[in-house]
Amino acid sequence: MWCRAAETLTDQLTDLGQNVTINCDLDVNEVIWLLLKRDSPVLILRTFSSTAPFYFKKTLKQKYSVQSKHNLFIMNVTIDDLGVYYCMKIHPPQKYSSGTRLYIIEPTAESKNHTVVKDTEQNQTHWQIIIIIISALLNGLLIIVIIRLLKVFVFGSKSTRDNLTQSQDTNLQQPQFMDLEQQQAPSQVQYATVDFPTPCQRFHSSQVNSTYALLQFPKSRTPKHNPI
């Protein structure tokens, strides 16, 4: 029976990780989907006309689902999903659809080398991008440091010049003050006030008389002649 069904196989090429739909060419209400592998057939699910499909294993519900006309939808194909798929009529007489062989093209040595070279180029490109970004960041940081150093140098030299200018101005102003003091010193001597004696005080008459009395010369005494 399996050999007779295998006489009409339809090849369906896919890639790993892709979603695939396998058609069922039986015009019936209920079918059973199965996967024929090397070891033994694997029952996947059974469809009903009015209810949801029944899965023979609960884990298969995450992988397979049923679309219109009993078509089987396979999500995210992996190596375990490769094989020959059949849909089978449940009620007698049993009938099988033509098988669909799901397969992938195995990469050759040349394609593997091309893939390796492509991956290497992509890795090199990524590293180049990372190096460019790091270089840009370092250059930006270096520019910021240089700008800050220039600011410190400019403002520092400016403040130094200001301090020198202030000190020079101070040194220039001090001799001027000294000259002014020296110039003002003779003028102060020339224009110094002179204390004159106070005017003669007036003497009272009594003081004059007493003074005059003191200053009177003694009267000349004439010798008295004794009478003879």
- Identify whether 185 is part of a domain: no
Per-residue confidence (pLDDT) for residue 203, from 0 to 100: 46
At 96, phi and psi to the nearest 5?
Answer: -115, 145
Per-residue confidence (pLDDT) for residue 53, from 0 to 100: 93
Per-residue confidence (pLDDT) for residue 47, from 0 to 100: 93
Tens-digit pLDDT profile for residues 98-127: 899 999 987 655 545 555 555 666 777 777
Q: Which residues of the chain have pLDDT under 70?
A: 1-7, 107-121, 168-228
- Identify whether 97 is part of a domain: yes
- Identify whether 207 is part of a domain: no
List strands edge to edge, sheet with 20-22: 20-22, 72-74, 64-66
**Tokens 């089978």, located at residue:** 88
- Identify whether 70 is part of a domain: yes
Please give the Cα distance from 18 to 75 (Å, whole number): 7
Number of domains forming the structure of the chain: 1
Per-residue confidence (pLDDT) for residue 94, from 0 to 100: 82
Per-residue confidence (pLDDT) for residue 91, from 0 to 100: 84
- Identify whether 59 is part of a domain: yes
- Identify whether 32 is part of a domain: yes
Q: Tell me whether residue 102 is exposed, middle or buried, using C-beta atoms within 10 angstroms of its C-beta: 0 to 12, 13 to 18, 19 or more.
A: buried
- Identify whether 96 is part of a domain: yes
The domain of 68 spans: 12-104
| Cα angle value 34/39/44 (rounded, 5°) | 20
Which CATH number goes with the domain that contains 35? 2.60.40.10
- Identify whether 41 is part of a domain: yes
Tell me the residue type at 198: T
Per-residue confidence (pLDDT) for residue 200, from 0 to 100: 46
Per-residue confidence (pLDDT) for residue 117, from 0 to 100: 57
**Tokens 């196989």, located at residue:** 9
